Chain A
Amino acid sequence: MDAFLLQILNGLDKGGAYALIALGLTLVFGTLGVVNFAHGALFMLGAFVAVSVQNLLTISKKVKDESITFFDAYKETPYLEIWWGDTGTALIDYAVPISIVIAIPVMLLIGLAVERGLVRHFYKREHADQILVTFGLAIVLQEIIKANYGANPIPVGAPDIVAGSANIGALFGIEGLVYPWWRMIYLLFSAVIIAGVFAFLHLTTFGMVVRAGMHDRETVGLLGINIERRFTIVFGLATIVIGLAGVMYTPILPPDYHMGMDFLVLSFVVVVVGGMGSLPGAVAAGFLLGILQSFFSMNEVKSILPGIDQIIIYLIAVIILLVRPRGLMGKD
């Protein structure tokens, strides 16, 4: 029972991450018709906003370790701690929540720059051209990060108050059932962001115009609405969503320059399974694949089907595409 509950939580948690990443990808494809292979790199950039904020907050006074003579080694104390004591320590501890606030304008600017500077020139080009140019952009972005931050993962912690695990077993009367606070916060965060995006598209005039543009761009344009400008904002919005997903993921997975590529293939599988351009499809596929991946990683399953955990996502993708070639919620 406890193993079952934990795998459900794992699946939801993974699914939340997959859905969040796939949501931005689908939003861009559904509105702009662009297959954005730089999406993973934008996720990575979001994570490195958190790394940069942490680095800024921990700029330190360096006291040289005199016992080391062959090179300079330092004991470092952050200036914030020296100046403000416990308040400074608390600020450093809250690097990730602070990064969320900072990441919104930063990622919006990055998104607008990418869309205006590059992507808009490829709206009417073949998908193959879009894939090539955005993939190239992804490589450039990750090499810039590697040159500045190195190739090794960089630890970014969650605030101490939520760094440990919650005793969720108490809710079900199961002793010893724990789950990390931050993963539950991530799941909640995913749900809020997904709900926010849907609300924005369905409950605002702006969203209504965007949805109309997704269906018939020309007619919306004939009505005198500047749909291109709205699509630019949508690209910025998608970049904020993926950037925030990256910031929030840093305590779970210490970020490195390559993390975007690690998620890229997976996020495309989620989008394809959900149905290209379908936002509900992307969310449903994200959670479905997350839960299935967790269950097929259980020892009981692996003992019967060794290695199934490594292929299950792709196997499910093949089956769904055979049965429903346009994905779970794709339209004919």
Chain B
Amino acid sequence: MTKSSKTTNESRRDFLKITAVGGLAASAPMIFMKSAHAYLNEPKGATVTLGFNVPQTGAYADEGADELRAYKLAVKHLNGEGDGGLLNTMKPLSLKGSGILGKKVQYVTGDTQTKSDAARASAKRMIEKDGAVMITGGSSSGVAIAVQSLCQEAGVIFMAGLTHSNDTTGKDKRKHGFRHFFNTEMSGAALAPILEKEFGKDRVAYHLTADYTWGWSQEGSIKKYTEALGWKTQSAVRTPLGAGDFSQYITPVLNSGADVLVLNHYGKDMVNSLTQAVQFGLRDKQVNGKDFQIVVPLFSRLMAQGAGENIKGIFGSTNWNWSLKDAGSQAFVKSFGAEYGFPPSQAAHTCYVQTLLYANACEMAGTFNPCGVIAALEGFKFDGMGNGPTEYRAEDHQCFKDVLVVRGNENPSSQFDLLEVVDITPRAKVEYPPSMLGGDLGSCNA
């Protein structure tokens, strides 16, 4: 009985041992395999492929072309060619000018067409067919949010291009997505003190707002900060994207009692609505005993050219401007100017910086594994990139830095001198709690 029991116990013990050893033996190659193929599109050869997803057709094609120029310049500098650009000024720097982790950088491009479905399709193609380990670019928040979500599902990093909606790093933020560009909350916080100084506390605002995520976000932020000043919001009217003729939306402003028109429009819509608002005589009007004013909260020098003379004297905010005199901005303008013969746009700047930040994070992490890259980027503090001391906040993957308040230049010294920097709002004044804009980063998907 005892013997029998002992035999049984020994058998069970033996079985457990065999199972454990067998399990370990069976799982060992799997652990190895997992390590060898831990993430999608792990670079195997001597090169690493990045995916540049920019608008090459449609209304933002010129901005997309400028983004692509910046990406090509970044690749050149990463591979040790050219004058090195911001690699000469970025601090701290792990890059050595020999590619990324010793692999030569190559790239593929996609056309977002500034349409979410087209942008997702081109990003998918670059990930699945071209083996891109990182996707970056874009000129629209709708596109950025759509592609960011795709990259999270696919398990690759997304370094956003020009996207200004709070939602990108707010309610729609993702663990795999990072934004260097500022957002509407920061625009509102930076603009409000200047608007108060220039136009006073007793104003009545009328908003015309592009009817999509970015427009809603900007309207909300500007209302929040101007109402805190004491301004009243007379109306906030949504306009269809690409409306062309805005006359039916502008005429109600004329006798509404409002003395400020806030144009929450970007690109072609901004050019058209501003041109038409000026034609309707809004800038010549006096309302409530004050000069009527127009505000364009998000300015783009590249797009401002389309508005011609109408842009003069109008206040807005911008992420970066080529006229800045810090070492980083000068280094970038010098590289870009020498390469292409004209200054870079803010879209080009943010795209260039994003590429370097991604590459630097890979070097810091010692891997292209997205989980390692995410960990390296989260909380990363850097300087010398044109915006002063900057931090990629870990909680929402939003870069925090100084914000520029600009005004359309009344006396431009050249064809590129369209915006005049009137104030550099320090980071501390545009910072907000990470939980304020909602959303959930989720976890690394690699």
| Interfacial residues, chain A to chain B (CB-CB below 8 A) | 2-3, 6-7, 9-10, 13-14, 17, 65, 67-68, 70-76, 146, 150-155, 157, 163-165, 176-180, 182-183, 251-254, 256, 258-259, 262-263, 293-294, 297-299, 302, 309-310
Q: By the criterion CB–CB under 8 Å, are A151 and B61 in contact?
A: yes
Residue of B nearest to A2 (CB): B255
Q: Is the CB of B248 within 8 A of A294?
A: yes
Chain B contact surface mostly: helix
Pick from B58, B280, B330, B414: contact of A180, CB under 8 Å = B280
Closest to A180 in B: B279
Contacts known (A176-B255, A178-B280); A293 close to B59, Cβ less than 8 A: no
Complex interface: chain B residues within 8 A of A179 (CB): 280
- Could you say which of B60, B242, B244, B303 has the most chain A C-beta atoms within 10 Å of its C-beta? B244
Given the complex of chains A and B, what is the CA–CA distance between A146 and B305 in angstroms?
A: 16
Q: Are A297 and B245 in contact (CB under 8 A)?
A: no
Pick from B65, B235, B308, B336: contact of A299, CB under 8 Å: B235
State whether the Cβ of B355 lies closer than 8 Å to any Cβ in chain A: no
Check A297 against B249 for contact (C-beta < 8 Å).
yes
- Given the complex of chains A and B, what is the CA–CA distance between A155 and B272 in angstroms? 10
Contact partners of B416 in chain A: CB under 8 A: 68, 73
- Does chain A have a CB within 8 A of B333? yes
Q: Please count the residue pairs between chain A and chain B whose beta carbons lie under 8 angstroms apart in the complex.
A: 143
User: Is the CB–CB distance between B302 and A152 below 8 Å?
Assistant: yes
Contact of B244 among A7, A10, A76, A253 (CB under 8 A): A253
* Additional A-B contact list (17), CB under 8 Å, known A65-B413, A152-B306: A3-B255, A68-B416, A70-B333, A70-B343, A71-B338, A71-B341, A71-B343, A151-B60, A155-B307, A165-B279, A177-B254, A182-B279, A183-B279, A253-B275, A254-B308, A258-B59, A263-B244
Q: Check B248–A299 contact: CB distance below 8 A.
A: no
A271 to B56, CA, bound (A): 32
Determine whether the beta carbon of A183 is less than 8 Å from that of B307: no
CA distance A65 to B343 in the complex (A): 14
- Which B positions have Cβ atoms within 8 angstroms of A? 58-62, 65, 211, 235, 237, 240, 242, 244-245, 247-249, 251-252, 254-255, 268, 271-272, 275-276, 279-281, 284, 302-303, 305-310, 330, 333-334, 336-338, 340-343, 413-417
Q: Which of A152, A154, A262 has the most CB of B within 10 A?
A: A152
Is the pair A75, B248 in contact by a Cβ cutoff of 8 Å?
no
Q: How far is the CA of A97 from the CA of B238 in the complex (A)?
A: 35
Q: Which residue of B lies closest to A262 (CB)?
A: B244
B254 x A65 contact (CB < 8 A): no
**Measured between alpha carbons, how far is A70 from B342 in the docked complex, in Å?**
8
B84 to chain A minimum Cβ distance, whole angstroms, is 15
Is B247 a contact partner of A153 (Cβ separation < 8 A)?
no
Query: Which of A155, A259, A293 is in CB contact (< 8 Å) with B308?
Result: A155
Please state if B281 and A165 are interface contacts (CB–CB under 8 Å): yes
Q: Evaluate contact between B237 and A10: CB separation under 8 angstroms.
A: no
A252 surroundings in chain B (CB, below 8 A): 245, 275-276, 279
Contact of B242 among A2, A17, A262 (CB under 8 A): A262
Residue of B nearest to A299 (CB): B252
Is A254 within 8 A of B271, CB to CB? yes
25 A-B pairs with CB atoms under 8 Å apart are A3-B252, A6-B254, A7-B251, A70-B333, A71-B337, A71-B341, A72-B341, A73-B343, A73-B414, A76-B415, A151-B62, A151-B65, A153-B306, A155-B309, A177-B254, A177-B255, A178-B254, A178-B281, A179-B280, A180-B280, A180-B281, A254-B306, A263-B244, A294-B248, A309-B248
Contacts of B244 in A (CB 8 A): 253, 259, 262-263
Please indicate the chain A residues that have their CB under 8 angstroms from the CB of B211 in the complex. Answer: 310
Are A157 and B248 in touch, CB under 8 angstroms? no
Complexed CA–CA distance, A14 and B340 (Å): 41
Residue in B247, B248, B275 whose CB lies within 8 Å of A254: B275
In the complex, what's the smallest C-beta–C-beta distance from B328 to chain A, in angstroms? 14
Q: Which residues of A contact B62 (CB under 8 A)?
A: 150-152
Known interface pairs A71-B342, A152-B62, A258-B59. Does A14 touch B303 (Cβ–Cβ under 8 Å)? no
Taking CB as reference atom, which chain B residue is nearest A151? Answer: B61
- Distance between Cα atoms of A259 and B330 in the complex (Å): 37
Q: For A164, what are the chain B residues with a Cβ–Cβ distance below 8 Å?
A: 279, 281, 284
